[in-house]
Structure 1
Amino acid sequence: MSAILSADDLNDFINPGVACIKPVETLPKQQPIDGANPYEVTTEEKVNAGTAPPAQISLTDCLACSGCVTSAEAVLVSLQSHNEVLSTLDRHPELPLSWPSDGKQDGQSTNEDGRVFIASVSPQSRASLAATYNISEREAGYMIAQLLSGPYGLRSGGEYGSGFTWIVDTNVMREACLVAAVEEVQEALSSSDAPKKPVLTSACPGWICYAEKTHPHILPHLSKMKSPQALTGTLLKSVLAKRYGIPASQVWHLAVMPCFDKKLEASRGELTSHAWTGDEEKAVRDVDCVITARELLMLAESRNISFPSLPREPLSQQFTTAFPDPTIDRLLFGRRRARKRKREEVSSIGTSGGYLYHVLKSQQARHPGSTISTQRGRNVDVSEYSVLSQDGTPVFKAARYYGFRNIQNLVRRLKPAKASRMPGASRKPLGGQRKPVANGGTGGNDGEYAYVEVMACPGGCTNGGGQIKVGDVATLRQVGGTGIENGSVEQEVLPLQREWLEKVDEAYWSAESADDDPQPEHANGDVDMGGTNGSGGPVVIDGIDVRYVKSILDHWSDITGVELEKLVHTTYRVVDSDVGKEKGGGSDMERVSALAVAQGGGW
């Protein structure tokens, strides 16, 4: 949805057309002229004598219209950009951070202009920068932290010398999303109150926007779980506001993400503090601003900072601050053990968070002796998976659909059956004869999916529209002259976009192959995935300690006093557009076309 959109591409105004009805609604009503003859013919000069006010198009208006996605993204690029980050840092000083040793706030923070600046960074964005500068994903993370928090980064300039107090890896909250996804699938298999089967992932905002605007029958299937970006924002704002005794509006959260559609997600009314405080009047967004990897480099350039020249090492202790809650601090910043990944594992997990893979591994753990069978679909972005019992019987079926061309096939097969007037006629649901099968196979006995991982971008999140494109690499490496090995700018033949994406994927997995990360404090070592807790459930699934994650979520709910469901779940809405519908006085097409002519084709 955003693969070709960038801030540099937006050099024109959006012209009114049938896809935008808001300008029509802002036209002033014509008032009758005093003493006018009711039988007199009104001329065009009289009608157009008054000057119409400029059309006021808000972000909410754009998101409420199903006719145009690009226009909403264009608005978001202008509202959420590196310039917004700089202007916010220059408007607000950093709020002094101190709290009593018992962790209870004493009401000491009175500076209403101050802000607590905190950033979260996705692994896909780090991978894009890592591939650009021929470094590891971890080194790219260090450089981002140096830019946002270090003495050679944003703190070296600006009105107040403000920077970001904490830089959080969204992988931390991704684990919580994975654990919650498994529980949601189990509920769907056993309860009618859970999302309808198959459960569809909801972490991709482009896919969510598409479903809400064009396929409302999909909404009951969507996972209720927030994305890692949204969940990270909720955690940071709720905990910091509680611990420091400040309003959530004084916590400013920046997210560095791989696609522009994440700006759409951050602007959703469902992802504000109202969802977990109940205070609609003082609601603030859980994520205040989203920028991409490309915009992160613009951020550095705007402050005359050479990004490739930044240190590739962790921040010094003098520039780090402990998180006010020790348990959350260990979760967010405790060192984590890297896992050695096999090639087949990498292919199954993908670069979009590994939702499907974790669900499959959880189901495999619930059926000792079972195996996972993979069957490729019609193209590389469609795959089907089955968990097979020891006798080869499918006990769980799932699939992966990436890219809108494949998503359209998926949603068509989920469309409710229409009653047929022909006797004996029927229409089978997704997974029957209409289910997409690989190589002409039958896909199992019942053939019905229980879970589907859906992403808008072909190839997954490392191919997001905000990632650095291969055509920009040569120029970026020359900036500063230190982005290449040995500090020299070498002439090299850059790969095509497909090969470049493979290099970004390799950088994405480079953190998994590192050997210098010790075991995190909470990890139980290489616990076999078939291990169980007291209730018979798995303990560790693919390196994720399920009990530890659940304990953290419970702790989060306890310290904030908010029900866990309000913290981690979200809702969706059917977006009903009036585009093309007949109204009094002519169609939308006629009225908007007339408006475009009257105002010279723009507003």
Structure 2
Amino acid sequence: MSAILSADDLNDFINPGIACIKPVETLPQQQPELNLNPYEVTTEEKVSAGTAPPAQISLTDCLACSGCVTSAEAVLVSLQSHSEVLDSLDRFTELRSPWSQEGATSGVVEGSNGGTPQQKIFVASVSPQTRASLAATYNVSEREAGYMISQLLSGPYGLRSGGAQGSGFQWIVDTNVMREVALVAAAEEAQQAINAPNGDLKRPVLTSACPGWICYAEKTHPHILPHLSKLKSPQALTGTLIKSVLAKKLGVPPELVWHMAVMPCFDKKLEASRRELTSHTWHGQDGDAVRDVDCVITARELLMLAESRNISFPCLPRTPLSKQYAPAFPDPTINRFLFGRNRGQKRKREAADDEIGTSGGYLYHVLKTRQAQTPGSTIRIQRGRNADVSEYTVVSADGEPLLRAARYYGFRNIQNLVRRLKPAKASRMPGAARKPGGARKPNGGGAGGNEGEYAYVEVMACPGGCTNGGGQIKVGDVATLRQVGGTGIENGSVEQEMLPAQRDWLARVDEAYWSAESDDLDNAFEDGDVGLGDAQPGDHNAGSEADTVDGIDRRRVKRLTEHWSSVTGVEVEKLVSTTYRAVESDVGKSKGESSEMEKVSALAVAAGGGW
């Protein structure tokens, strides 16, 4: 477990279940003393209080039990921490080769014979929320924070400057790129659910990018599962893309690619450990499945990673990596998509930031796609009972509602959502009609309209969205981090600054998150613009204004997924989709009844968890 995590970090939105199976098993047996007089009045000093030993809880336990639904589960995953990152870098030699932009089409990395178990190709992906948190902490732009992260993970003054092997990360991928893939697919999925209301996906379609929300739904509300979007999150999509393409282009097994994700919340560790997000879903190789994401760390753990190597994070260069440390991806088309000038397309700022949100903008992209299909239509927004509940309606020029959607952030609001989506219960009274009490639909907190007409709902566990994730830097830590990092020091004393309240601090993080949208991307990679090439006719970079929705060229994204499928030989559906499962509680069951839990535990271990 990371040293920066403490019990104070576990004050989550939903508390651990009272009947957690692990503490129950470790409770000591209270043996009554012999020859006690039942009529004797004893004093408090004579009563010996028994202290239960600390429960050792692993991820395997959490996945096999529905007793808890918190991000504390992710915190308790000891292997997914900055220590595990350092251990992997010191244990394995970095597998590097001077392949060109055209890629290693021979199927074998030059001079490596396909790699050995003692070698790894290290790849990292970084979320925009993490960059925003670090940007607000050190008073830099979101882009500069991204440069600093790249310098830490790949540059000569970062992790490569120390360690037993001198290893570093070969590529640093912005998850915003694969977010575009997720958004385009989400709009298509929502449209399919609207056109086929009796299909596999029930209305309203609920987003599935938040692992805390997914864990909660699987363990406590299985009736929600048919509503969940089948799409992978940007983190999972990035992991699948990296490992599947490198395995094919370089002729190496997926386990030789080690992928670390830097994310805003601890629940992303749980997502990375799901058996549905492993190489067995797309590779089909024999033996144990390999996780698409090997390790997830947060913004605070990233700073611990630097501190463990005696690296001052704020003193790292705020410039792009040189060509020496930024090689081209083996596939030129995917290289242009991941690292080209057009990556992270700027959005047309037609709406306020809070309308789009800082959780990827799934709902907003679905609305804009529907609006683009009906010229002259507008989007109406009506706030619900609090700032984290809103209702959205796409209205035609004639005032006719075309699509209704909503946003639900925070577990308290989510509980209301799932309760109102609960199917109606049949009355036990003879001849009585079905009881409608459990079938109330979400109405956006009295926002009005027919609640049953919701087509799409964006659901996130954290109030305020992903910039408020549990792994983000809190305002109380800023002063210490700036002092340790050496920023704001003048004449030997730390420059005094009045730090804002937590709500105002989150506003600063949100502002940093959106700063990347207003930057000019033309000069984003002056020094690191490696082998991008020019877009050719028919290339995925070539698109038209008619195909651009919410600043995203939909045709460009679709051609990328088609190319990805052709490279790997795997259907697009298998690459971008996932599945969910209802987790039944084994609390209170006998050993004979808990065989299913043991199967789940064995599967989790076989998936590479090693817990």
TM-score scaled by length of structure 1:
0.83
Are 1:541 and 2:549 an aligned pair?
Answer: yes
Q: Say whether 1:146 aligns with 2:155.
A: no
The within-5 A match list for 1:306-317 is 306-317=312-323
Q: How does 1:3-42 map to 2 (within 5 A)?
A: 7-9=5-7, 18-20=19-21, 24=25
Task: Determine which of 170, 178, 184 is the counterpart of 2:183.
Answer: 178
- Aligned-pair CA distance for 1:338: 5.7
User: Where does residue 596 of structure 2 map in the other structure?
Assistant: none
Q: Is the 8 A contact 1:171 1:228 kept in 2?
A: yes
Q: Does 1:490 align with 2:495?
A: yes
Quote how far apart the aligned CAs of 1:287 are.
0.3
Written as runs of structure 1 = structure 2, the 5 A alignment for 1:116-515 is: 116-191=121-196, 192-279=198-285, 281-336=287-342, 339=346, 342=349, 344-420=351-427, 421=429, 423=432, 427=436, 434-438=441-445, 440-443=446-449, 448-482=453-487, 489-515=494-520
**1:59 touches 1:75 (CA, 8 Å); kept in 2?**
yes
The CA deviation at 1:437 is 4.1
Q: Which residue of 2 aligns with 1:72?
A: 73
CA shift, 1:543, in A, is 1.2
CA shift for structure 1 position 68 = 2.1
What is the distance in 2 between the residues matched to 1:355 and 1:199? 11
SS in structure 1 opposite 2:522? Answer: coil
Q: Does 1:576 align with 2:584?
A: yes
- The residue number in structure 2 matching 1:85 is 85
**Contact persistence 2:262–2:297 (CA under 8 A):** yes
Distance 1:313 1:489, change over 3 A: farther
Report how far residue 424 of structure 1 moved: 5.8
Superimposed CA distance per residue, residues 377-396 of structure 1 (whole angstroms, 9 cap, x where no aligned partner): 00000000000011111110
Kept in 2, the 8 Å contact 1:369–1:389? The answer is yes
Amino acid corresponding to residue 557 of structure 1 in structure 2: S
Structure 1: any 5+ residue segments left out of the alignment?
28-53, 532-538, 586-603
In 1, Cα distance between the equivalents of 2:123 and 2:491? Answer: 33
| Residue 558 (structure 1) aligns with | 566
**C-alpha separation in 2, matches of 1:324 and 1:487:** 48
Q: Where does residue 104 of structure 1 map in the other structure?
A: 105
Residue 176 (structure 1) shift? 0.2
- What's the secondary structure of 1:386's corresponding residue? strand
TM-superposed deviation, 1:322 = 0.8
Distance 1:280 1:484, change over 3 A: farther
CA distance in 2, matches of 1:218, 1:495: 39
Q: Distance between the aligned counterparts of 1:367 and 1:66, measured in 2?
A: 44
Offset of residue 103 of structure 1: 3.8
Per-residue deviation, 1:346: 1.1
- RMSD after superposition: 3.1
Cα 1:72–1:343 change in 2 (3 A) is same
Q: CA deviation at 1:330?
A: 0.2
SS in structure 1 opposite 2:404? strand
Q: Quote the sequence identity (%).
A: 67
Deviation at 1:262, TM superposition (A): 0.3
Distance 1:567 1:400, change over 3 A: same
Q: Which deviates more from structure 2 when the two are superposed, residues 311-320 or residues 231-240?
A: 311-320
Distance in 1, matches of 2:202 and 2:270, equals 25
- Distance in 2 (alpha carbons) for counterparts of 1:310 and 1:181: 37
Question: Are the equivalent residues in 2 in contact too, given 1:351–1:461 (CA < 8 A)?
Answer: yes
Q: CA deviation at 1:11?
A: 11
Please tell me whether the aligned partners of residues 137 and 507 of structure 1 are also in contact (alpha carbons under 8 angstroms): yes
Report if the CA contact (8 A) 2:185-2:231 is conserved.
yes
Q: Distance in 1 between matches of 2:210 and 2:236?
A: 11
Structure 2 unaligned blocks of 5 or more: 11-15, 29-53, 525-533, 594-611
Partners of 2:18 and 2:67 within 8 A in 1: no
Give the C-alpha shift of residue 419 in structure 1. 2.0
Go from structure 1 to structure 2 and tell me whether the alpha carbon gap of 1:400 and 1:244 turns closer, same or farther (over 3 Å shift): same
1:397/1:447 contact within 8 Å kept = no
Tell me, yes or no, if the aligned pair for 1:481 and 1:487 is still in contact at 8 Å. Answer: no
Label 1:218 to 1:8 Cα distance change in 2 as closer, same or farther (>3 A). same
Distance 1:462 1:417, change over 3 A: same
CA offsets per residue over residues 253-287 of structure 1, 9 Å max, x none?
00000000000000111100011123362311000
The CA deviation at 1:138 is 0.2
Matched residue SS, 1:284: coil
1:392-441 Cα offsets, whole Å, 9 max, x none, are 111100000000000000001110111234756663897xx743245x45
Q: Could you give the per-residue CA deviations for residues 274-310 of structure 1, whole angstroms, max 9, x where no partner exists?
A: 1112336231100000000000000000000000000
